[in-house]
Amino acid sequence: MCGRYVSTRSPKDLTRLFGVADWRPEETLDPNYNVAPTDDVYAVLERAPRHGDEGAVRRELRPLRWGLVPSWAKDPKIGSRMINARVETVHEKPAFRRAFARHRCLLPADGFYEWQQLENDTRGKPRKQPYFIHPADGQVMALAGLYEYWRDPDRERDDPAAWLLTCTIITTDATDAAGRIHPRMPLALTPDHYDAWLDPHRDNADELRGLLTQPADGHLDARPVSSAVNNTGNNGPHLLDEVTA
């Protein structure tokens, strides 16, 4: 599972790293050291021109709300339960299979948080130690994700406020440092798979699943951090400071 992560890179950095051709300055997000479900997050995606439009596919940097709302959902609140999609079943689950075929994205991250179960305290209450898990070389993680459009049926179709864009993170079995803390982790893609994953014209499920069989190589470091991260209202670089576990 991935229920919290860190995303602090600027649009300038992200457009360069991911070859983005289109982003809107008015959609700039603040650095977020405690990304939580329903927050707006940066996503790299490609969209083909709509029928009758001219031009080639353009790679965009867009803010999406974390927690995927399927197009058929009656209530957008369902998104708070759709923050992750398991790589083993993402292509066949009703909530994700349409987005898997048509709407794939990359979610840039500095790293992610995970909690390790510890022995109960002296009062018998369970304790969990949060860890920040990140690439040892400081590179950006490109988390494999899906996005979807949801239209509010109570608004006119041409009303910009009628459309909600949401996303989810694909997870896999944890490896390296993450595996010592939690059995699942977000699946990061290698740069050589970015183009194929984002291509909106690519819809062969077997081929797409093949891109997800080898998570990005590279050593992951994990360090214990303060339980302040447990509160989604807390934010700032101090959340990444190492503490004694």
In a domain, 170, yes or no: yes
Stated pTM of the model:
0.94
| Nearest alpha carbon to residue 97 among 88, 89, 105 | 89
pLDDT score of 56:
82
How far, in Å, CA of 245 to CA of 241, rounded? 12
Task: Average the pLDDT over 116-134 and give the result.
Answer: 87
CB count in 10 Å sphere of residue 197: 19
Average pLDDT of the chain to the nearest whole number: 93
114 has catalytic annotation = yes
How many beta carbons lie within 10 A of that of residue 94, not counting itself?
A: 8
- Domain for residue 198, yes or no? yes
Task: Domain of residue 58: give its range.
Answer: 5-109+138-215
Q: Give the pLDDT of residue 48.
A: 79
First to last CA, the chain: 21
- 51 pLDDT more than 60: no
Tokens of 61: 């940097």
pLDDT value at 151 more than 70: yes
- Structural domain contains residue 124: no
Instruction: Give residue 212's region: left, alpha or beta (phi > 0; psi -120 to 50).
Output: alpha
Res. 229: pLDDT tops 60: yes
> Can you give the CATH number for the domain in which 143 is found?
3.90.1680.10
Residue 157 lies in a domain: yes
Is 119 noted as a catalytic residue in this protein? no
What does the pLDDT look like over 57-74, one tens digit per residue?
A: 999 999 999 999 999 999
Is the residue at 160 inside a domain? yes
Structural domains counted in the chain: 1
Q: 49-63, 95-109, 223-237 — which is least confidently predicted?
A: 49-63
Options 2, 60, 105, 167, the catalytic residue: 2
pLDDT of residue 178: 84
Q: What is the pLDDT of residues 176-226, one digit of tens each?
A: 778 889 899 999 999 999 999 999 999 999 999 999 987 776 789 999 999
In a domain, 49, yes or no: yes
Q: Indicate whether 205 belongs to any domain.
A: yes
Q: In the structure, what pLDDT confidence band is assigned to residue 19 with cuts at 50, 70 and 90?
A: very high
**Higher per-residue pLDDT: 2 or 123:** 2
Q: Please provide the DSSP assignment of the chain as one string.
A: ----EEE---HHHHHHHTT--EE-GGGPPPPEEEE-TT-EEEEEEEEPPPTT--S--EEEEEEEEES---TT-S-GGGGGG-SEEETTTTTTSTTTHHHHHH-EEEEEESEEEEEEEE---TTS--EEEEEEEEETT-PPEEEEEEEEEEE-TTS-TT-GGGEEEEEEEEEEE--HHHHTT-SEEEPBPPGGGHHHHH-TT---HHHHHHTTSSPPPSPEEEEEB-GGGGSTT--SGGGG-B---
Q: Is residue 120 part of a domain?
A: no
pLDDT of residue 125: 80
CB 35 within 8 A of CB 96: no
pLDDT value of residue 79:
96
**140 pLDDT higher than 60:** yes
Which two three-digit tokens encode residue 29?
A: 């997000």
Task: Select which of 46, 60, 105, 114 is catalytic.
Answer: 114
